[in-house]
Structure 1
Amino acid sequence: MYHGKKVTLRALSPHDLTHIMDYVNDYETYSTFTDSAPRPKTEEFQAHWLKYSTREDMITFAIADKTTDQFLGTIQLRDIDHVSHRSFFSIILHPKARGKGYGTDALRLLLAFAFEELNLHKITLTVYQSNEGGRRLYEKCGFQYEGT
């Protein structure tokens, strides 16, 4: 577990999957990370998502409110390459958790973990131009635009 000012990054629990499916089925959330329309997510999808998020080259944390442990979203490093010291990252926050500083706190914790504990040198991401909140978050935490 990693504790910030507002959030805790912790291991995912089976109970978190219900919350994850809630925001994956939310069009506004889904449209921030894909250009296809959301489809109802089944138990089969949940099992696939859980298997995907626990790959060897991926670390996924639940983002939880530090005080209440309420699930707020997920944040992950994926395609971790220990040879080139690089990784991609993604974050998805529940709509009710946005704009309150949870994302900033979670991302700062993840970056500290990635750079200090995993000895990574570069973290990258893909972000849609329409994801204004995400772009503000990434710039606030030191990400720089490299191109399209």
Structure 2
Amino acid sequence: MKLRKLQKEDMEGMLEWMSDSDIRQNFRFGTDRLDEKKILQFIENAEIMPIEGNSVHYAIADKESDEYLGTISLKEVSTVNKNAEYAISLRKKAQGKGIASKATKEILRLAFEEFKFERIYLNVFSNNFRAIKLYEKCGFTFEGEFRNHLLVEDEYRSLKWYSILSCEYQALCKNGFNI
């Protein structure tokens, strides 16, 4: 597994996970409005270095074949406050193989060691137990729950909020938190 800049060849893999109903059920936005033109525009505009108010997006790719496996992001970057929101999505074929954990550890390394951020945070639907297990395994701390916070497809959904601080990441590294 490696992180790299998104490429136009990744579009097909992106469309695959975006149209997968099992994956989409864990997102609050509808991906059905995305088409090839919008995805290519997203890829072309994807940054890999933090800029105030923007997001960074990396392809998660197979180390040997360079095949696109998913996308991992730091969104809503605040270079002033040194924080960003974490997000990840994997194609179904990449799930259950430890790839999400490795990619998360690598994006945290970039965030804290390269970009010098103080805090990375995320929110997740309260019933997305698989994702919550990943986040806790990777060192994120539960901060609280926004109950019935979002109306998604005529159903209220609750969000759990997690974060990891630079000092917590450094402590994990001292205790063998490696990729």
Do the two structures share a fold, i.e. TM-score over 0.5?
yes
The structure with the largest strand share of the pair is: 2
Q: How does 1:1-148 map to 2 (within 5 A)?
A: 7-34=1-28, 38-39=31-32, 41-47=34-40, 49-50=42-43, 53-54=46-47, 56=51, 57-148=54-145
Preserved CA contact (<8 Å) 1:26 1:38: no
Distance 1:129 1:51, change over 3 A: farther
Please report the TM-score for the alignment, with normalisation by the length of structure 1.
Answer: 0.86
Distance 1:44 1:67, change over 3 A: closer
Please report the TM-score for the alignment, with normalisation by the length of structure 2.
Answer: 0.72
Q: How many residues align?
A: 141
Question: Percent of aligned positions with the same letter in both sequences?
Answer: 32
Secondary structure of the residue aligned to 1:15 is helix
Name whichever of 18-27 and 50-59 sits farther off. 50-59
> After TM superposition, what 4+ stretches of structure 1 lie above 6 angstroms from structure 2?
none
Q: CA RMSD in A?
A: 1.9
Bigger-Rg structure (1/2): 2
Secondary structure of the residue aligned to 2:126 is coil
Gaps of 5+ in 1: 1-6
Preserved CA contact (<8 Å) 2:11 2:40: no
Gaps of 5+ in 2: 146-179
Higher relative contact order by CA 8 Å / sep ≥ 6: 1 or 2?
A: 1
Secondary structure of the residue aligned to 1:147 is strand
